[in-house]
Amino acid sequence: MAVLTRRLTVLGQDTEEHCMETAIKVAFASTDMKHIDQHFGAAESFAIYALTPEAVQLVEATQFGKLAMDGNEDKLDTKIAALEGCVAVYSQAVGASAVAKLKAANIQPVKVSAGAEISGLIEALQEELRQGPSAWLAQAIKRLQGPSAQRFDSMEAEGWDE
């Protein structure tokens, strides 16, 4: 079973709560906080960033004990719980059972080449937010925003009978 051994939450003048009003949270499987160098299931650590089209902030770093890639499905639940609130997790690879569990938790698994730079991936996400998000990112943003209050307008226009 995976055990979360260390969790660092970054606080400052622009706290996560303030930043998260308009930001999305994204996780990266990385041991050096600069490159994607981990398979999701065996990831020893995640760097979690909040980002908007204009700003980026490291909000959390998590660390787990060493695990084998196969044979320990319980490790996935602990890792997915640590990624709560993230819309995506970037890693070198993701197994089928992890993909299913991530999707059930509304976290998009994204496979990238080994050594991909986190800064470049963040810049690409920011550009995508500025230009118009792809289908999966648009769905993630919609889930974060919740249902629109305007859905009641048409009901009110129809009138209410008691």
Q: What is the pLDDT of residues 68-120, one digit of tens each?
A: 555 555 679 999 999 999 999 999 999 999 999 999 999 999 999 999 999 99
The pLDDT tens digits for 117-150 are: 999 999 999 999 999 888 888 888 888 776 655 5
Predicted structure pTM score = 0.78
Give pLDDT, residue 105.
95
Give pLDDT, residue 16.
46
Q: With 0-12 CB in 10 A as exposed, 13-18 as middle and 19+ as buried, what is 103?
A: exposed
Which superfamily does 4-157 belong to? Dinitrogenase iron-molybdenum cofactor biosynthesis domain (3.30.420.130)
Instruction: Please give the residue that has the higher pLDDT: either 2 or 118.
Output: 118
Give pLDDT, residue 12.
56
The secondary element (H helix, E strand) that includes residue 101 is: helix 96-104
Q: Is the pLDDT of residue 36 over 70?
A: yes
Q: Is the pLDDT of residue 19 over 60?
A: no
CA 117, 15, 55, 138 torsion-angle sign: positive
Q: Write down the number of H helices and E strands in the chain.
A: 6, 6
Give pLDDT, residue 15.
47
Sheet arrangement for strand 86-91: 4-9, 56-64, 45-51, 24-29, 86-91, 108-111
- 52 HSE (CA, 13 A, CB side): 10
Q: For the chain, what are the domain ranges?
A: 4-157
Distance CA 64, CA 117 (A): 21
Structure-token match 């990624």, residue found? 83
Give pLDDT, residue 155.
57
